[in-house]
Structure 1
């Protein structure tokens, strides 16, 4: 059984340059990507390029408009959904903070500025609205990172330079958060949510009952439902269906398995129900979706 634990373990870039830039399309339709609650050990900077994106970070939610950004600290749970706009797209720059270190020596830059960030003595501010000169500078550097990756000559040097300049701007303007006030209730809820997401990721191909999920968290079924809706803005079944449809879409693109086989593999017991849910999320049937991506599949 494949484990789709929302704590990502995949590599972003490689050991020599641990950074990757992802184009995320959230506009409803066949090409819409589902980015449910997940977390990873890398830092993530997000730049919205079309319309608006609803970005959840921890227990907070932000409607981020074109030209604005979000800075996500490592291990922070986050999710992206479309906002109330016709278009909804962004770029996510996911990177290991080790990218910023010198490879040959421990210099002043590392000791005085980067070490506190990497050791999580300092945290990044979250919402970059573009309303101040500091915000504008950060967003300008993010735009350049997105522009040069991965085809421009020496893009690695350009990106590392812009990343260091972002750090310098944040530090010079005292925008780094030197400590985070811990809300014990929110912290407890987030820990429970991670357990719930972990359980769903491991068992999404099986029948998941509310009772089983509540038992994992040692809470009542009612509390489990309310907590999940509050934290993810989705019901448990909506979240599971999103995950299953996302996995089904990958299989439709990458395999020749029948729609019924894929339906069963991702956890739908009834192929008719799978078709209805898939159409509701992707705005087309599974067969139409497969035909849409057939040229890409044949050329790969």
Structure 2
């Protein structure tokens, strides 16, 4: 993978953890998937992954309303190309930094979640839930309280850094725009949203048995459509992608605990430890027992 892309991803992950913030990159023009390495590096940051947002967007109507916010932000940046602060229709506050290339707004970096407007946020949550037969206002408020924790960095310090990253992404676009059919990508941009939401759903639920029908239902699309997107973008089927996520999660248990291989397999969602070992070996090139032997952390005893 391009080391520069990975460094950007590493910094974003560091900032989220260190400063207690959420970072989401909105790709208006669909340029990120054009470069596979860039797509893989930024994949964890292409959707609002907090529990509150995931719950709100489980309603199809609200999900599509969230998508319309992209158009509203795009219209705003046509008038003012500076970072701004705002609250979404569901009550979450964030700073939005435009990614600008020439005369075009190709995306944004959304940085949240900031407080100070609790009464207004609760009013918007009430309004959103009142429009839905699926959403419980009580559960939405609970998840809102759980998702919102004050950042440990001031916007004055954070925003210049995000603006530099936005500039870097704009320069990256310069290297690929000659081969980027923006009109085609705009017509299929919903694929990006489906993929990012599906990936996050898998990340949050990989320890359970995930059915393709459940995943498609969460993303408000057909099973055939979501399967096509995974093959197109990740070059694997959905079950293979889920297994990869499970194997990645199991590596920490292998090197950092004394838990048996069989118990680790079960804990990350594999029903059959032997199947887990075969999948692990296919993906990593060595069996889990050998991986544990090579990379076991100091202080962990057999």
Task: Please report the TM-score for the alignment, with normalisation by the length of structure 1.
Answer: 0.46
Structure having the higher helix fraction is 2
Structure having the higher strand fraction is 1
Task: Please report the TM-score for the alignment, with normalisation by the length of structure 2.
Answer: 0.46
